[in-house]
Amino acid sequence: MPNEPLNVPPPEPFPQMNVPIATDLIPLISALNHTYPEELALHYVVPNAPCNAPGCGYDPVTQLALNVMCPTCGGRGLITTDTVITVPASIDYPDEFTYQYLPAGFSLTGDVMAIVDSYEIGMYDINPETVTYYTWQGSDYILDKMEKGVINGIVYEYDIYLTKKGVQGGE
Ligand SMILES: [Zn+2]
């Protein structure tokens, strides 16, 4: 839909379960989510990625490396990689978070809450549950819990509650 007008009010910052809303609004929400100013880094493990050493790779026929003498993969053709992607996110944290905007029954259980559009994760074809840790503004965070924002059965965003690594009840 080219020339989709963008001068509409932004969506509610939190998923509202029973709001009647047209499914074709989801691309518009994604476009708005993509303008989030923060950047959240997602670190995840790919356990069986093809070896990327020069002259090597995975041979599906032999189920071994293209170069069986390859020191990188030990001749397996597969390596475990730590991969990181950086996605736009909206980050709320207690110091700046305006609790007055919290809907009734909503509570922040982690140190920060990040909203990431499902499109941002979906384009990488990864399962967000496999993310091992997150980095935001130079600090590492682990997942506390993840909630999905759903409209008409379609997941359009992830609400990601994060706890700072190595901090237990810190100030
Ligand atoms: Zn190799």
Q: Give residue 56 CA to ligand 1 midpoint distance, Å.
A: 5
Compute the distance from residue 64 Cα to the ligand 1 centre, in Å. Answer: 9
Between the CA of 149 and the centroid of ligand 1 the distance, in Å, is: 41
How many Å lie between the centroid of ligand 1 and the Cα of residue 82?
Answer: 16
Ligand 1 centroid – CA 137 distance (Å): 34
Q: What pTM, to 2 d.p., does this model score?
A: 0.62
Ordered alpha helix ranges (H), the chain: 26-33, 118-122
- What pLDDT shows up at residue 99? 47
pLDDT digits (tens, 9 = 90+) for 17-74: 555 556 677 777 777 777 777 899 999 887 888 999 999 999 999 999 999 999 999 9
Tens digit of each residue's pLDDT (9 = 90 or more) over 135-144: 998 889 999 8
Say which residue the tokens 């074709």 belong to.
Answer: 24
Distance CA 140, CA 13 (A): 24
Tens digits of residue pLDDT in 128-162: 778 899 999 888 999 988 888 888 788 888 989 88
Residue 129's Cβ-count burial label (10 Å; 0-12, 13-18, 19+) is exposed
Backbone angles phi, psi at 119, to 5 degrees: -65, -40
Which residues, 6 or more positions from 4, have their beta carbon under 8 angstroms from its beta carbon? 27, 28, 31
pLDDT of residue 23: 65
Distance 40 CA to ligand 1 centre (A): 31
- pLDDT confidence bin for 92, thresholds 50/70/90: confident
- From 8-12, 87-91, 109-113, 118-122, the region with the lowest mean pLDDT: 8-12
- CA 132 – ligand 1 centroid, Å: 24
Domain ranges of the chain: 22-164
